[in-house]
Every structure is written in C-alpha cells, then in structure tokens.
Chains A and B, each alone.
Chain A
C-alpha cells in the first residue's frame, strides 16, 4: 500500500519524506507581521480588530521601541460587541474615524482580522468596502487576516499583500516588467535595483512599495520573482491577474542570490557574459565573506523548529555554502509551488516536518543534541539552560540577510551564538 503511494508520488516526496505533525504549536500568529510591515509601508496604519490579547501581543513584540506616534492599534472587542453584529459595524466606523482624526496623513488603513473577530464572523471585507466609500479616495481601506487560526507569523504578510493585489493598477503596457515580491530591508532593495539595472532588466518594481500610492501595476507582462518564501497566496493572486512566476531559489547566500538573479536574466534573455560581468565581483565578495564564517560553522549540526517558512531555504544555504549538517527541518507550512526552486538543491533523506507537536519535537532535539537549534523566543532560553545552543529565529526576519552583500552577515547570525559560547567559556555557561 505504502509502496504504491510512493511509486505514484512525485520525486519530491520520494527524496524528502515530509512528516506532518499536529499538536501544540509554539508559533506567532500573523498579526506579528505588522511589526515590520508598518515600517515598510510608511503611510499605512494597521488597525487590528480583536481582543486585548491581540493588543497585548503586538505591544509585547514592539514594546521595546518607544514610539512618539504608533502606526498600529487594536479595536478591542467588548462584551457588548459580542452580542450583536450590526452594532459592531457602527463601532468599527467610529473607531476608524478616531484613527483618521489622530493620523490625518495616513493613506491606507489595513483592517486586520483576528481569531475573535473571525470566530464571531465579523465581515471586515464588507467594512473595508463601506469605509472606502465613506472616505472616497482620501483613505484606502484593505482587509486581511492575521489571526492565529488562519495564519502563522510571516503568513500575515502573505495575506496582507494578497489583499492588496486586488487593488493594484492594471499594467497595460506591452513591455515585460519585473515585480520583486516580499518585504525587503531598504538597503537590500536598493542593492537589487542596482544589479537589475546593470543587467539591463527592467522596469523593476518592488511589492510592497514604501508608500501606498506607489504600489506596482500588474498584468500579463509582469514577471514575478519572490524575495520571500512565504508568499504562496500572494503569488497565486498575482498569477490570477496575469503575472508569471519565475521559479527560483531564494536569494540567500552567493549561490541562492545568483540563481535568483539568473531566473530574471534568463527571462529577459540577458547574455551569459553580461550576467557574469555584473555578478562576478559581488559574488566573489559574498563567497569570501561566507568562507570566513564557514570556519566556525563547517561540520556543525543544525536543527530548525517551525517559525517563518524561511527554514528550508536557510537550511539549503547553511548546508551547501557553510557546510553545516542538517538535523530536522521544521516548517509551519510546506508550499510545494513556492519551494520548487529550492527542493532540487536539498540533500537526499532530509527530515522535513510540517506543523508541530512541541513537546515531541523538543524531545527529538534533546536526543539529537544539535550544535545549534533555530527556534522561537519562548523556547530559546529554556533550551540554553538545558545546555543547547540556540539561534532565535525572529532575528532572521528582522535583519538584512538577502543578496550578495548580506551573505556574510547571514552566516554570521548563526556563527555568533557559537562564538559567544567559546568566548564566555564553559564556566559562565553552566
């Protein structure tokens, strides 16, 4: 029976037995993505419709930053809101008016739904449309789900961008254009823009843009390059609007970045000699920078707990470019279409786990005793106290890590915990 299933299955599954696991999951909900999205889209405001728990989550995550004026808030549901839905719509209009009065310069308000608002089936799509009409043109309203029941961590960005997709202008030009999709640090975005220009690829537009009014158009001449591996729904929404997805590995490390750029270069018919002359120098720089870190990382074993969907591309980079050995790779969600460019680069027999049963997974980590475990902040210090070294995963989302000139920094994020242990010595560690 099992044999028959395997025989008829894809090569992917034969090479990687993706285990599915269910149980307690120690992950963030999609609301957390507001923490970086509000910095990227500077004239947007994120209004969560949820409970005190939602407000508490965001401020616990963002609370170390002291804001003079925050660009996110929560409309906290009260007892009386749970009683009747019609009332809730009026309430929402009132709260939206308060936000606009306080922040008149805001151009887009994202209405972000949460577990409580989804369980009581509050229709924020409707509300966004109604409010959009009320504030006709002055402020746009977009709704998406950041709830824990629907989304895990970075999937919040996926739902946000997917929802924006419907509002993107139609690209009617007959010229190819490149859309780079996924929030990137500004410095990385600028580097990629320069490289594409040198290659002669263009026009290049980034999605999301830094301002609401600069969101890129989309059409049948749009070629889509994903900069982040968690944008499956956004990619499919863009494909529905005519865009064509270029399959590529993600731009981590020298190899990943080259292959990612190559996908666009191939589409644009850029000669190999041009590609080589533009990328040779930064590629050499990246390889050198990674080699420095590899001295520490080579031969070390690393395991990933599920968090952001960055796990598989990062594992590929660490194994191929930093010579690390891979233990279990946990991912919250395994999207085959989105990982098509990555899977051929992964070693045979790798254990990939989709989903989580936290306590069982921790038992496996304890048994394997990896040199480094990539995990969330609720797990990191407890594992350190057990004598295991960890790399807390959220930093991978909050640090410029993509592209050639960040390849060394990316490897450095994994080196640092190991160096720190060596530097502080066993004495202070135990």
Chain B
C-alpha cells in the first residue's frame, strides 16, 4: 500500500476515457462498479463539456457480484451499441473489475458486433492515467492501421513534386493542459511556413481520420505522455519521422521550427523572421531585472517540466533550484535535463516527497501542478500551475496556449503574477513595521484574491541543532519573507557545520556571506 494524500494522475481507465472523449464516433464501455461515473465530472465540470463523455459504465453493485457480472457486460454491450451506434467500440476494465476478471474485451470481441472492437488492457494497480491514455491511443492507431502496413523493408515514397508538405499533430487530448489552444497556435506556426496539417489526433479525430495518418510526411509528437508510443510505432511501421521538440518557450519554438525544416527539407527562415513574441523584450526590459536569480522549484509532467526549466533559466533569468516529474515513462529525459542544470531530478509520484523537497529547498516560487498549490499554501510562497493535474481555473475561457510565440507571452504574464512586484518588494525590505504592508500581508496586487494572507513561520529544518538567540531571531524577521526560510536553513546549516550551539546576529550574517552568490 502507498499512503497517498494527493495523486498526480488518475487510474489508467481515466486516460482511456480522455481518448474516447477527445474523439468523434468512438464509444467506450467500461466495466466498473457504481460510483466510477464520477469521472464524467472531470469532463462536464472541469473541462465544461456540453455533452456526456461517450462512456457507458456497467456500474455493478455488491448484489451483482452474487450473480453473473459477465452477463451484465454482455447486456450493457448490446444496449450501448444499439443506442449510440458508434463507429468503433473500446472495451476496458476499471480497477475493481480488473480483480473480478470478466474479460469484457474478449466478451465484446466474441459478441459478433458489426463494428471494430478494441479491447483495452489497463493494469490499474501498476500503471496510471497518462499511460492509460497512451496505451489507448496506441491500441486504436495500431488496430486501425495494422492492415495498411507496408511490407518490412519497403521505403517510404518521396513526396510528389509540387505537393505541399503535411504533418500530423499527435497527442492533444481532452483534459490535457491547454491542448485546445496549443493546437491552434501550432497550426498557426505551420500555416506560416506553408505546411499542411493532415490529421490532429486524438482531439477532434474520428476513426476514419486515424486511418489517414500514414498520408502525412511526418508526425509531430506534441505531448509525448500521450503520443510517444503511437509515434514510435508509426515510425517503425510507416517510416514516418517523428518531430520530437515540444514548442513550449521561445527557444524551444525556434528549435521546433528548425527540426520541422530539417525533417521536411524546407527553407523557412523568410517566413519566421518577423514572428511576434513579446516575452524576449518583456524579459529584457529593466522592470524584469529583479527577476534575476529568483529561486524556482519545478515539478510537473515531463514535457512541461523540461520546457519550464529552459524558459525559467534562459528566458526569465530565474535560478532553477529543483526539477522533477511524476512521469516515470519519461523519467530519463528529465534526468538528463536536470543534469544540465546541475541538479538531481526528483522522480516520484509521492506528494509527500515533493513537499519534503520543496520545504528543504525553500524556493521563492513553485512551478507545478494543482498539487503544488497545497505545498505553496503551506510554505506561504507563490505558485503557478504549469501542468496537469489542474483544476477548473486552468481550463479558461480566454485563449491561453502554452506553445508557440503566443504561448510564451501567456507564460511570461502567468509566471510573474504571483511574485511581489518590484517596488513593493524594495519597500518591504526597507520599512518592516508598516501596519498595512508587512510580511503577513499578501502582495498588494493580489489582495483581491488573498484571503487572510497568513504566512506560517517556517519550522527549523535542522531540528534542534542550534538555538537562535532573540536578537538573531529578530534580525531574521527583517529578511523578506520569501527568502527568510532559505536564510534560516542556511544559517542553521552553517552553524551545524561549525559546531556553533547558539546562533547570534553575527552567525546570521556570516552564513549570509558564506552562501552569497
């Protein structure tokens, strides 16, 4: 058993529902107990869909376990196909159904339906949501395209002269982070350089669309968590190259365009020369100077964590003090990036470990998921959600991509927002006893959302190692709150290393000098 306060991902069958809900003409039959229909709310409330997800649940109860739950599956199967008339049916188990092993996929395949049936293997006790989405998308692509596969060793024919190059956008899905707007932004990029979009999938695609995937010149793997497995199979089977750079951030978008150009053998420099992106100028303008060296801790899905690290360091001028992900499938990529930043990547799906790391690092801001907002509240620091799991406020009405040049503009605004603004930060450090603007107050530009603005005093991290004398404690309180935790920790560590039993004002400043950058 694993004690779980918050889970970064849902179970794998939620990933399967995301694929079904992304697509047109696909229905999912899920063998599951009463109550698992809560998952519908993710789509109707968080994503505010105006339709029910195309999922039928068997919703068995305890009394059904005495009888034949397999019969319930066949019965539901028949009714579902008759009512919804999908062009393809996926069939899977939720975690409880996996234990009772009715094999609904096999039952459906043997039911003589006149539509394609794709059975799903969900492994609920070993795998999670993104894997479930990836496996479902891969199973669908494979089931629909395996009969079109060219013989082994066959070469892909050259693109005919005069035909515009085209790509597939693979990975965007329902309940993905800002997928709705990312694909609009990426389409704009491709439009600028004269490349057509063949199929976007799974979001908005039908099974018939998936069957056209091999017609494109390359696959763009926008969200590796969902599309990596399918892209690899397409590359092996149809010799379709995969474009792997994820265009989040200014630099990454430029690299992405370069990779597209190289892969499709295009000269795109004239078209991209006048691309409009405000992040570089905003970040260079003097108002942003105080952002330099702000210490940020990043924890997200692999794709967004890697992208955020690059933006944070190279485009915002922050210091990345921690980097991690819950995406075990992409852990290797995150480890490699972390190494470049001189960090050890934190690979975990245990919220308590993330909390512990954040508490030790005492960053000035968290770039994370909905879960990191809990940690940020506890530590009294700012937080920006950069990845799923996300809640309803991160499925906004306004255009809010993360990808491409407009995505970079959105990111600049969003990341700066929770930080205290420059003048206020200066004045707080100069005058500490203001009745209105003080450590316990929320940054005043956030006052409308600030609640009580209570900032809990940090506990000593090095427990009981050294005692603070009262002058030193008072002095410590003069350090602005967002770096105070770090200062306390450094001083205690400094004292511990030198066997100092009592910390006075001198120790505090010695430690400061010692650790100053």
Task: Please report A residues at the B interface, Cβ cutoff 8 Å.
Answer: 23-32, 49, 51-53, 55-57, 59-61, 63-64, 66-70, 73-79, 81-82, 88, 91-92, 94-95, 98-99, 115-116, 118-120, 147-150, 152, 359, 376-382, 384-385
Contacts and interface: CB of A to CB of B under 8 A. Distances in A.
Contacts of A52: 4, 7, 9-11, 95, 124, 128
Interface stretch (B42-50, B188-196, B420-428): B42-50
Interface centre among A25, A27, A88, A359 (most CB of B within 10 A): A25
Contact of B50 (A24, A95, A376, A382): A382
Contact of A377 (B41, B50, B60): B41
Given A51-B124, A378-B40, A148 B33 contact: yes
Contact of B125 (A28, A51, A94): A51
Nearest to B126: A79
B61 A79 contact: no
Contacts of B33: 29, 115, 147-149
Nearest to A102: B352
B99 A120 contact: yes
A378 B10 contact: no
Contacts of B56: 24
6 contacts: A29-B35, A53-B11, A75-B2, A148-B35, A149-B62, A379-B44
Contacts of B373: 66
Contact of B58 (A24, A92, A152, A377): A24
Nearest to A54: B95
B3, B46, B58, B100 pick with most chain A CB within 10 angstroms: B3
Interface of B: 1-7, 9-11, 13-14, 33-38, 40-42, 44-46, 48-52, 56-62, 64-65, 76, 79, 83, 94-96, 99-100, 124-126, 128, 370, 373-374, 377-378, 389, 391-392, 456
A115 B41 contact: no
Contact of B38 (A60, A73, A152): A60
B35 A28 contact: yes
Nearest to A153: B35
Contacts of B95: 51-53, 115-116
A362 B85 CA distance: 18
Contacts of A81: 1, 125
Most buried by B among A60, A115, A150: A115
Contacts of B60: 149
A49 B2 CA distance: 10
Contacts of B76: 24
B96 A55 contact: no
Given A26-B40, A377-B45, A381-B48, A49 B34 contact: no
B96 A119 contact: yes
A192 to B, nearest CB: 30
Contact of A57 (B35, B59, B62, B64): B35
Given A52-B128, A378-B37, A73 B52 contact: no
A55 B61 contact: no
A68 B377 contact: yes
B7 A59 contact: yes
Nearest to A98: B3
Contact of A68 (B10, B62, B374): B374
Given A24-B58, A52-B124, A63-B370, A75 B3 contact: yes
Contacts of A385: 50-51
B7 A92 contact: no
B173 to A, nearest CB: 17
Given A115-B35, A116-B96, A152-B35, 9 more contacts: A24-B57, A24-B59, A59-B389, A64-B392, A77-B1, A148-B35, A152-B34, A359-B83, A377-B40
Given A68-B377, A78-B2, A377-B44, A57 B51 contact: no
B5 A76 contact: no
Most chain B CB atoms below 10 A, which of A64, A77, A116, A152: A116
A28 B99 contact: no
Nearest to B59: A25
A95 B9 CA distance: 20
Contact of A28 (B38, B64, B370, B392): B38
Contacts of A68: 374, 377-378, 456
B34 A78 contact: no
Contacts of A28: 35, 38
A73 B34 contact: no
A49 B1 contact: yes
B1 A92 contact: yes
Contacts of B52: 378-379, 382
Nearest to B6: A59
Given A53-B36, A59-B6, A115-B35, A82 B125 contact: yes
